[in-house]
Amino acid sequence: MRKVPAFLCAADLIRGALRRDPARVAEWGNTLPREADVVVYCVHGHEVSQAAAKAAGARYLEGGIEAWRAAGGELFGKPKDASSRWVTRERPKVEFTHDGDLCSFDAFIKNFRLKDQALDQLAVIVRGADTGRPDLAPQSAGLLAVSLGLSLNIADDHRMLEQGMVVYDALYAWCKRGKNETHTWNPDLYR
């Protein structure tokens, strides 16, 4: 009889946690953000999380999710038997869920406690596109137009998300280090 991974039976995740296959730590371990404090956990904080943390260059949560729960740590319910957590819906554009006045992007930043000025600036652009308030940032209307255009042109959700990530990566790069650059075309050079 095949053993069912403990994750499939678990009812909860620690809020902000992302599931990674401990047997594939060699693949995902080097993708972890080096500037972040990454903690790996399993049910009891024994072999699985300790081995994965060591291989990924991260720390492990002593006592696992059970110790976290006992200490009153915040948990997030997951669907029973889910192999992973859905983070979007079919035909995604900008939205996945909102948190009060915050759009999904804001909620994502808040939930994962991401601290980055460029992400904060990008969040304003996304919030304007996602909440029908393009006045929040001049780029909001353009992001909404591009997102809707991707949805109209690409039927496959995975391909659409792949292309959409290029747009978000470009906007993030602009927020991080490109906002001061201006259009450099000089028509006098071509006369």
pLDDT in tens, 61-94: 998 888 898 999 888 776 555 554 444 455 565 5
Task: Give the tens place of pLDDT for each residue, 166-186.
Answer: 999 999 999 999 888 887 777
Q: Which residues pair with 77 in a beta bridge?
A: 12
183 part of a folded domain: no
Residue with the two structure tokens 């659409």 = 160
Same domain, 108 and 67: no
15 part of a folded domain: yes
96 part of a folded domain: no
31 part of a folded domain: yes
Whether residue 19 is predicted with pLDDT greater than 80 in this model: the reply is no
97 part of a folded domain: no
59 part of a folded domain: yes
In sequence order, the 6+-apart residues with CB closer than 8 A to the CB of 138 are: none
Q: CB of 121 within 8 A of CB of 175?
A: yes
- In this prediction, residue 86 carries a pLDDT of 45
Cα within 13 Å of Cα(115), Cβ side: 3
Q: Token pair of 190, please?
A: 């071509």
**Which pLDDT band, with edges at 50, 70 and 90, does 126 fall under?**
very high
Q: Which amino acid is at 2?
A: R
Structural domain harbouring 161: 104-177
**Which pLDDT band, with edges at 50, 70 and 90, does 135 fall under?**
very high
- In this prediction, residue 4 carries a pLDDT of 57
22 part of a folded domain: yes
Nearest to 20 by CA among 46, 71, 62, 58: 58
Same domain, 70 and 114: no
Please tell me whether the overall predicted TM-score, pTM, comes out greater than 0.75 for this model.
Answer: no
Winning range, highest mean pLDDT, from 11-15, 40-44, 152-156, 158-162: 152-156
How many structural domains does the chain have?
2
- Report the CATH number that the domain containing residue 27 is assigned in CATH: 3.40.250.10
Gyration radius (Cα) of the chain, Å: 20
- In this prediction, residue 107 carries a pLDDT of 80
Same domain, 65 and 118: no
Average pLDDT, the chain: 81
**Which pLDDT band, with edges at 50, 70 and 90, does 191 fall under?**
low
In sequence order, the 6+-apart residues with CB closer than 8 A to the CB of 53 are: 39, 40, 59, 60
182 part of a folded domain: no
Q: Token pair of 79, please?
A: 């669907």
Same domain, 50 and 112: no
